Amino acid sequence: MGVEGSSGADAVVARLRARLGERVDLSPASLEAARADRSGHSSPGAPLAVVHAESVADVQETLRIAHETGTPVVTRGAGTGLAGAAGAGPGEISLSTLRMNRILEIRPDDLLAVVEPGVLGGDLGRALAPHGLWWAPDPASREISTVGGNIATGAGGLLCAKYGVVRDAVLAIDLVLADGRLLHLGHRSVKGVTGLDLTSLVIGSEGVLGVVVGATLKLRRTVPGSPCTVAATFADVRAGAVASAAVTASGVQPAIMELMDAASLVAVHRLLGLDDPAPGTAQLTIQTDGPAAADEAGRIADVLRDAGGTVSVSHDPEEGERLLAIRRSMHPAMAALGTTLIEDVSVPRSALAAMFDEIARIERAYDLTIPTVVHAGDGNLHPNFIFDGPEVPPRIWQAADELFRAAIRLGGTLTGEHGIGTLKSRWLADELGEDQWEIQRRIARVFDPAGILNPGKVFAARGGTNA
Amino acid sequence: MGVEGSSGADAVVARLRARLGERVDLSPASLEAARADRSGHSSPGAPLAVVHAESVADVQETLRIAHETGTPVVTRGAGTGLAGAAGAGPGEISLSTLRMNRILEIRPDDLLAVVEPGVLGGDLGRALAPHGLWWAPDPASREISTVGGNIATGAGGLLCAKYGVVRDAVLAIDLVLADGRLLHLGHRSVKGVTGLDLTSLVIGSEGVLGVVVGATLKLRRTVPGSPCTVAATFADVRAGAVASAAVTASGVQPAIMELMDAASLVAVHRLLGLDDPAPGTAQLTIQTDGPAAADEAGRIADVLRDAGGTVSVSHDPEEGERLLAIRRSMHPAMAALGTTLIEDVSVPRSALAAMFDEIARIERAYDLTIPTVVHAGDGNLHPNFIFDGPEVPPRIWQAADELFRAAIRLGGTLTGEHGIGTLKSRWLADELGEDQWEIQRRIARVFDPAGILNPGKVFAARGGTNA
């Protein structure tokens, strides 16, 4: 897809420059950077141009030109996505909202903030903290990813089991359509059932419905007190999974509950220069927060001991951060081993142990090691496939295919928080079914009749294992 | 709309009876009952038939016949709606899911339940309680309304500010399309961002996208301990609204926070045979729950006293229920005064006092009394218009029109939890804007190309004050 022929491309760029001036970036470095996100996947070549929108009007102007010339547009925030959705290719416009980074309003009385899409999660958190407020979604990229990108992917994170995901934390969205029109979706009130819930529909839509140019965020009050941290090791990851289920069953709600399997733990220990754990050792790291944090940590420690864990409890926030740093070092530890395909399946919590059985089966069948970390409070697993070179080998995709099918079979889903993008579009119909796939694609066409928004993403390919 | 001519209607009924036998109900009492919901609004006449579906297959069969014959279908649960969405008229099939009332699965480990749509909220609550679980949405109709109806309207209730609305409490929906095909939307895992979020889209869609035939509900653990209740009276409702905002601003999160204005309070006192309150008196009734309930009630009492309230605190659950009974008697108290149009606007919490100023202005301009109760924790107001006779007089609609526009102007919405139905469809485009209205209508057409699902509801009429 894209604008055919260089003269057509030149004409589009000329129109963009005429209306947007220096905000149209043709530098080779920018064009190259716009091809990829953090998934490791790159588009086949550089886009026509990168437009650095600084206002809603800039986005509208870009879309109007794209609409009139039939030029595809790939919207981009900070480029931290892990599914390839933000990568722009030949003939496409890369539309960056990163410069639209103002926080327009913070309302402690209404527990809301109005922001532009390019605000980084870290900056938002620092702006809200003096008001005793926070926005709960906490993807691992939080510090460096944008609110607009979080909305476009329906981001999750570590705190979701207790504090929810992006879908639970957005009241209203301003959306520019493929033809440049601006829609205001949702409202500032907490409640509202007026017509269809298009705000929810846009969350997680990965750039195929429109460009998010503003958002009204639902905030929480800062949780009082400091967290307590419980770390426990288990003889194997299955025992750790069973223990995490026992914590959930105990009725105590941790703020964070992260499970690392043996391969993950070894890789991180080596990266951080720590002694190797005993072979097979898996680790659960749990944080409780709020007024009852210490009591809850004690109750959780009891549950973990009963489940066979070797348990330590820390009431010291710094020690807690040090323990969590092991979990947070997962991505660099994987990157040190080779190219990484980070998967993202999600299953019902009771199926965690069964999902680890499936992963063990796939490891044996494909002679692979699949280091896996889990948001155990909500059943969201990140199995990592490691390989050499830039492209995912077919054998790895076959193993991933078995992983996806196992998750769906267990009542779960292909992607808990990263999205479909380019990397999983061929499995989308397997999960949705052909009828639902077709209905979703038609809904996207209602917003974008010509299909110029993020073409080739999400609804691109249908069914089957092979690329 | 509907099947033209009695022979066409007879043929449709004959086909329904051939396939569904005694589940096709032609009794005059059933046909008459199917015309209305609890809004007081009735369709112009009786529908063709009431189909009492007992299975997903029954719903599919009904829809296939409707699809092939172009017959409109109005889905109905317990008929407790307040916007007219479930009323079926001439030429239409009334499809009841009330007999599909099985609870298929309760999973304490995954905090979910799988239910048929006709399960009553009261029955669900009693089935979950022995497991230490509950489903949080609590419309006033909870005891007698269906889960399917709660989903179709996106129901709210008293506990929403702390525990969320239906949108926050559904993981997956099975939906039968207008042509009888069955879609499985969502998944059993807590997280999931696979494709567009059609589960959220169906919540609150009022029967125009499909028939909800099953749902996977997200449960909570029963809150431990017993609630504490704080009741406070204020010299006028504006002072009560300011006090409720002060409670929100204090950072304490009540489970329930209900505000009644003077006219409401007088009407309820008279219904219950209590002494009249002092003229102008408004009342806030607040409940706290959980381990910190008593402490939170104490802090709230201090806030209310500082705000000028006369405050009483009760730690006795029975006394708490007695205090809340005053709030719960609102609807019968209104019914005792005449025919009631219960409105349902929602505004940001900080705008509550301003909304009461608007209501006072409208009362003066139209020489009306508009008794109003408020879910003050989330800014959802229920102003009541009282009149004689079955039809809403044009003057009342004009006053309601001003009410709606005021709520939208304050950043709120036409309907917080009751829906659009027939009664508010002419204001829908005013809030959404023409572009969004058209996109929403086209999305509905993706699900239902021929427009046989609940025609004349939600997207029926456009703009303007007059019916």
pLDDT at B51 over 70: yes
pLDDT at A38 over 60: yes
> Number of Cβ pairs closer than 8 Å across A and B?
245
Q: Which two tokens stand for residue A56?
A: 């809603």
> Quick one: DSSP state of residue A97?
-
Q: Residues B66-103: pLDDT tens digits?
A: 999 999 999 999 999 999 999 999 999 999 999 999 99
Q: What is the mean pLDDT of residues B400-406?
A: 96
For chain B, the distance separating the N- and C-terminal CA atoms, rounded to the nearest angstrom, is 18
Inter-chain contact A349–B413, Cβ cutoff 8 Å? no
* pTM across the whole model: 0.95
Counting Cβ atoms within 10 Å, is residue A121 exposed (0-12), middle (13-18) or buried (19+)?
buried
**Each residue of B247-261: b (16+ CB within 10 Å) or e?**
bbebebbbbbbbbbb
Inter-chain contact B440–A196, Cβ cutoff 8 Å? yes
Instruction: State the average pLDDT for chain B.
Output: 94
In whole angstroms, give the CA distance from residue A456 to residue B5. 49
Q: With beta carbons less than 8 A apart as the criterion, state whether A431 and B194 touch.
A: yes
- Give the distance from residue A161's alpha carbon to the nearest chain B alpha carbon, in angstroms: 8
More confident call, A212 vs A141: A212
Q: Residues B127-162: pLDDT tens digits?
A: 999 999 999 998 988 999 999 999 999 998 888 889
Contacts of B285 (CB under 8 A, 6+ apart): B229, B230, B231, B256, B257, B258, B260, B323, B324, B326, B327
Instruction: Determine which helix (DSSP H) or strand (DSSP E) holds A231, and give its type and residue range.
Output: strand A228-234
Least CB-CB distance to A194: which of B184, B415, B444? Answer: B415
Nearest CA in chain B to A253: B221
φ, ψ at B377 (rounded to 5°) = -70, -25
Inter-chain contact A193–B204, Cβ cutoff 8 Å? yes
Residues of B in contact with A346 (CB under 8 A): 187, 189-192
Q: With beta carbons less than 8 A apart as the criterion, state whether A85 and A421 touch.
A: yes
Quick one: what percent of chain A has pLDDT higher than 70? 97
Q: Following CA atoms A163, A167, A172, A176 in sequence, which dihedral angle do they give, to the nearest 10 degrees?
A: 140
Nearest CA in chain B to A436: B183
pLDDT at B193 over 70: yes
3-state secondary structure chain B: CCCCHHHHHHHHHHHHHHHHHHHEECCHHHHHHCCECCCCCECCCCCCEEEECCCHHHHHHHHHHHHHHCCCEEEECCCCCCCCCCCCCCCCEEEECCCCCCEEEEECCCCEEEECCCCEHHHHHHHHHHHCEECCCCCCCCCCCEHHHHHHHCCCCCCHHHHCCHHHCEEEEEEECCCCCEEEEECCCCCCCCCCCHHHHHCCCCCCCCEEEEEEEECEECCCCCCEEEEEEECCHHHHHHHHHHHHHHCCCCCEEEEECHHHHHHHHHHHCCCCCCCCCEEEEEEECCCCHHHHHHHHHHHHHHCCCEEEEECCHHHHHHHHHHHHCHHHHHHCCCEEEECCCECCHHHHHHHHHHHHHHHHHHCCCCCEEEECCCCEEEEEEEECCCCCCHHHHHHHHHHHHHHHHCCCECCCCCCCCCCCHHHHHHHHCHHHHHHHHHHHHHHCCCCCECCCCCCCCCCCCCC
Least CB-CB distance to B188: which of A107, A197, A412? Answer: A412
Q: What is the mean pLDDT of residues A143-161?
A: 93
Inter-chain contact A193–B153, Cβ cutoff 8 Å? yes
- Give the distance from residue A426's alpha carbon to the nearest chain B alpha carbon, in angstroms: 12
Nearest CA in chain B to A460: B195
pLDDT at A213 over 80: yes
In whole angstroms, give the CA distance from residue B156 to residue B169. 11
- Note the pLDDT of residue A5: 60
More confident call, A249 vs B298: B298
Inter-chain contact B156–A181, Cβ cutoff 8 Å? no
- Note the pLDDT of residue A63: 98
pLDDT at A170 over 80: yes
- Give the distance from residue A14's alpha carbon to the nearest chain B alpha carbon, in angstroms: 30
In whole angstroms, give the CA distance from residue B53 to residue B96. 6
In whole angstroms, give the CA distance from residue B159 to residue B451. 35
Q: How confident is the model at residue A348 (pLDDT cuts 50, 70, 90)?
A: very high
Closest CA to B219 of B144, B164, B286, B150: B164
Residues of A in contact with B209 (CB under 8 A): 196
In the sheet that holds A103-107, the strands lie side by side as A103-107, A112-115, A211-218, A170-176, A182-186
Least CB-CB distance to A346: which of B109, B192, B458? Answer: B192
- Give the distance from residue B240's alpha carbon to the nearest chain A alpha carbon, in angstroms: 16
Residue with tokens 């007190």: A225
Inter-chain contact B418–A193, Cβ cutoff 8 Å? yes
Inter-chain contact B187–A132, Cβ cutoff 8 Å? no
Q: Decide: helix, strand or coil at residue A29.
A: helix
What are the CA-CA distances from residue A223 to residues A136, A151, A165 (Å)?
11, 23, 17
Least CB-CB distance to B191: which of A156, A195, A444? Answer: A156
Least CB-CB distance to A190: which of B161, B185, B418? Answer: B161
In whole angstroms, give the CA distance from residue A44 to residue B384. 62
pLDDT at A464 over 50: no
- Note the pLDDT of residue B396: 96
pLDDT at B466 over 90: no
- Note the pLDDT of residue B280: 95
Inter-chain contact B200–A201, Cβ cutoff 8 Å? yes
Inter-chain contact A416–B107, Cβ cutoff 8 Å? no
Least CB-CB distance to A191: which of B191, B196, B378? Answer: B378
- Give the distance from residue B416's alpha carbon to the nearest chain A alpha carbon, in angstroms: 4
- Note the pLDDT of residue A204: 97
- Note the pLDDT of residue A267: 96
Q: Residues B5-17: pLDDT tens digits?
A: 667 899 999 999 9
Q: With beta carbons less than 8 A apart as the criterion, state whether B196 and B186 touch.
A: no
Q: Residues B404-440: pLDDT tens digits?
A: 999 999 999 999 999 999 999 999 999 999 999 999 9
> Quick one: DSSP state of residue A222?
P
Q: What is the mean pLDDT of residues A59-85?
A: 97
pLDDT at B2 over 70: no
Beta bridge pairs of residue A382: A373
Q: Residues A84-101: pLDDT tens digits?
A: 999 999 999 999 999 999
Contacts of B98 (CB under 8 A, 6+ apart): B52, B76, B77, B78, B118, B146
Inter-chain contact B198–A436, Cβ cutoff 8 Å? yes
Inter-chain contact A380–B349, Cβ cutoff 8 Å? no
Inter-chain contact B167–A375, Cβ cutoff 8 Å? no
- Note the pLDDT of residue A1: 46
In whole angstroms, give the CA distance from residue B66 to residue B48. 12
- Note the pLDDT of residue B160: 86
In whole angstroms, give the CA distance from residue A458 to residue A99. 26
Nearest CA in chain A to B442: A446
Residues of B in contact with A221 (CB under 8 A): 251
Q: How confident is the model at residue B298 (pLDDT cuts 50, 70, 90)?
A: very high
Closest CA to B90 of B211, B15, B29, B9: B9
Quick one: what percent of chain B has pLDDT higher than 70? 97
- Residue by residue, DSSP assigns A235-277 as SSHHHHHHHHHHHHHHT---SEEEEE-HHHHHHHHHHHTPPPP
Q: With beta carbons less than 8 A apart as the criterion, state whether B230 and B304 touch.
A: yes
pLDDT at B264 over 60: yes
**How many residues comprise chain B?**
467
Closest CA to B286 of B244, B349, B322: B244
Instruction: Determine which helix (DSSP H) or strand (DSSP E) holds A212, and give its type and residue range.
Output: strand A211-218
pLDDT at A230 over 80: yes
Least CB-CB distance to A204: which of B165, B193, B444? Answer: B193
pLDDT at A233 over 50: yes
In whole angstroms, give the CA distance from residue A115 to residue A219. 12
Q: With beta carbons less than 8 A apart as the criterion, state whether B438 and B57 touch.
A: no
More confident call, B233 vs A467: B233
**How many residues comprise chain A?**
467
Q: Residues A252-305: pLDDT tens digits?
A: 999 999 999 999 999 999 999 999 999 999 999 999 999 889 999 999 999 999
Closest CA to A396 of B159, B99, A388: A388
pLDDT at B317 over 70: yes
Nearest CA in chain A to B447: A439
**C-alpha A421: how far from its chain's center?**
11
Instruction: Determine which helix (DSSP H) or strand (DSSP E) holds A282, and give its type and residue range.
Output: strand A282-288
Least CB-CB distance to B191: which of A160, A447, A459? Answer: A160
Least CB-CB distance to B188: which of A411, A416, A443? Answer: A411
Q: How confident is the model at residue A466 (pLDDT cuts 50, 70, 90)?
A: very low
φ, ψ at A183 (rounded to 5°) = -110, 145
In whole angstroms, give the CA distance from residue A235 to residue A35. 43
Residues of A in contact with B405 (CB under 8 A): none
Closest CA to A158 of A417, A419, A334: A417
Residue B126: CB atoms within 10 A of its CB come to 11
Beta bridge pairs of residue B92: none
- Note the pLDDT of residue A36: 95
Least CB-CB distance to A110: which of B193, B348, B446? Answer: B348
Beta bridge pairs of residue A314: A229
Nearest CA in chain A to B345: A192
- Note the pLDDT of residue A404: 96
- Note the pLDDT of residue A103: 98
- Note the pLDDT of residue B41: 87
Residues of B in contact with A431 (CB under 8 A): 194-195
pLDDT at B462 over 60: no
- Give the distance from residue A360's alpha carbon to the nearest chain B alpha carbon, in angstroms: 21
Inter-chain contact A203–B184, Cβ cutoff 8 Å? no
Residues of A in contact with B444 (CB under 8 A): 196
